[in-house]
Structure 1
Amino acid sequence: MRRVAFFTGLMLMTLAFFACKKEEDGTAQLKVYLTDAPGNFEHVFIDIQEVRIHSNNGGWTSLPINAGVYDLLEFNNGMDTLLCNVELPVGRISQIRLVLGNSNSVVVDGTTHSLTTPSAQTSGLKLNLHQELEANESYSIWLDFDAGSSVVLTGNGEYILKPVIRTFSDLTNGKIKGIVTPMNAIPTVYAIQNGDTLTAIPDNNGFFMFCGVNGTYDVHIVPSVTGYSTAEVNGVQASFGTITDLGTIQIPN
């Protein structure tokens, strides 16, 4: 009887060990999205070929993404597109590499100009990201591609691509939104924090949104048409997981 009890206890301990081991070595769901801080172009086409992540559980891993050419200007004011949805081992992600192909271009005044970025095409753009993946959890990460800062016009009239990208996750995704009027002022909205500037171009209804923000920002609405003045909303507080609504902002004239 004691022998049966001993083996029963041993079996329960073994099952408990493997159950704990399975949970410890479990997987997490990761979604990677592409979004955009816009620029004053008609189109900015970016050829995304590969996304890699580096974790403490496997080193560099290439993710199964929806590779192809994306128009960044379709993904501003909170819009995005899913690059991949993958199940990964638990662990800590420390870096992301974004590898671009050769089919990058910008459209200005109806003319298409090729964009080149050799460093991104060879080794990939390395972005720091610190995200802990825990078993049976789901996570989202955004690659925020700043089109306005990334496309550079050189002195000889050529356009080159110097990608400016920031990353944020669902845990660090504070938002600031609002509506600008009148839109015939052709405004651009800036969110400024300690010398760093984010850009938004309102849609046809005047709506704008900044994502991945946290802390205190000064929001400036700068018109492109003479006869209007800059509107400012200073000291805007943003925090992770919340949306700060500025309401309707009137551009003075």
Structure 2
Amino acid sequence: MNNLTKLRLVILLSIVTFFFNCSDSVETLPPQESTNISVTLESSLASYDALNVEISDVLVKTKDNGAAPDCWISLHANGLGNINLLELTNGSNLMIVNNLPVKTSEIYEVRLVLGNNNTVIIDGQSYSVSAPENHQEGLSVPSIHLLQGGNNYTINLKVNIDNAVVENSVNNYKYLNPTMEVQLFSSN
């Protein structure tokens, strides 16, 4: 091999090494620039036999500008299937995201995204329920919190389902209209 070929090989290897080592993945960020987020879900009591919801995802808004294309971050809470919210009462909760590493930022809003497979069971009878137009993108709660690097955070979503199923008397259509609270707990 002549010197020019060796030089080309060294430059090529340097470029390849540079591109593979310069990932902006959260896993490679220094601890002060990343944090771990867990999300738990709990519910209040209600007079239904069951309230089954399909959770598609949990999103957090990390930029105050809602028009910014990357203001919402998915916490990848998909694949949970249907969950009976009445099983998440009296101190019971469900971990729906577990120690997901994210870039340190502020959280301006938390959104629980529901799928289309939601039912309520009242007096043994199952009814399909869907979210009204104002909840089509999910249940959202403003929540301004600064996430500090190196900490672990748990976002607790408490869904108040008492009187959450509303019936339209005209066509006997039932829709889901719960409220939600957000609590943030930090641990080092």
TM-score normalised per structure 2: 0.72
* Residue 52 (structure 1) aligns with: 59
Task: Describe the shift of the 1:23–1:105 C-alpha distance in structure 2 as closer, same or farther (beyond 3 A).
Answer: closer
Q: Does 2:78 align with 1:63?
A: no
Unmatched 5+ stretches in structure 1: 1-20, 172-253
Task: Describe the shift of the 1:124–1:114 C-alpha distance in structure 2 as closer, same or farther (beyond 3 A).
Answer: same
* Residue 144 (structure 2) aligns with: 130
Unmatched 5+ stretches in structure 2: 1-28, 65-69
Q: CA deviation at 1:118?
A: 4.2
Write the letter of the residue equivalent to 1:159: K
* Residue 78 (structure 1) aligns with: 91
**Matched position secondary structure for 2:86:** helix
* Residue 126 (structure 2) aligns with: 112
Alignment of 1:68-217 (within 5 A): 68-85=81-98, 86-119=100-133, 122-156=136-170, 157-170=172-185
Residues 33-82 of structure 1: CA distance to partner in whole angstroms, max 9, x if unpaired? 11001101110001111211111495211111143211000000111001
Q: CA deviation at 1:146?
A: 1.1
Write the letter of the residue equivalent to 1:144: K
Greater RCO (CA < 8 Å, at least 6 residues apart): 2
Q: Is the 8 A contact 2:157 2:182 kept in 1?
A: yes
Write the letter of the residue equivalent to 1:72: L
CA distance in 1, matches of 2:128, 2:40: 25
**Matched position secondary structure for 1:47:** strand
Write the letter of the residue equivalent to 2:86: L
Q: CA deviation at 1:23?
A: 5.0
Write the letter of the residue equivalent to 2:77: I
**Aligned length in residues:** 150
Task: Describe the shift of the 1:151–1:123 C-alpha distance in structure 2 as closer, same or farther (beyond 3 A).
Answer: same
**Matched position secondary structure for 2:162:** helix
* Residue 185 (structure 1) aligns with: none
Between structures 1 and 2, the one with greater strand share: 1
**Matched position secondary structure for 2:169:** coil
Residues 125-171 of structure 1: CA distance to partner in whole angstroms, max 9, x if unpaired? 32111222111111111111111131123325443211211111226
CA distance in 2, matches of 1:127, 1:73: 21
CA distance in 2, matches of 1:114, 1:166: 24
Residues 182-237 of structure 1: CA distance to partner in whole angstroms, max 9, x if unpaired? xxxxxxxxxxxxxxxxxxxxxxxxxxxxxxxxxxxxxxxxxxxxxxxxxxxxxxxx
Write the letter of the residue equivalent to 1:126: S
Q: Is the 8 A contact 1:38 1:73 kept in 2?
A: yes
Q: CA deviation at 1:123?
A: 2.4
CA distance in 1, matches of 2:96, 2:134: 18
Q: CA deviation at 1:121?
A: 6.6
Q: Is the 8 A contact 1:98 1:125 kept in 2?
A: yes
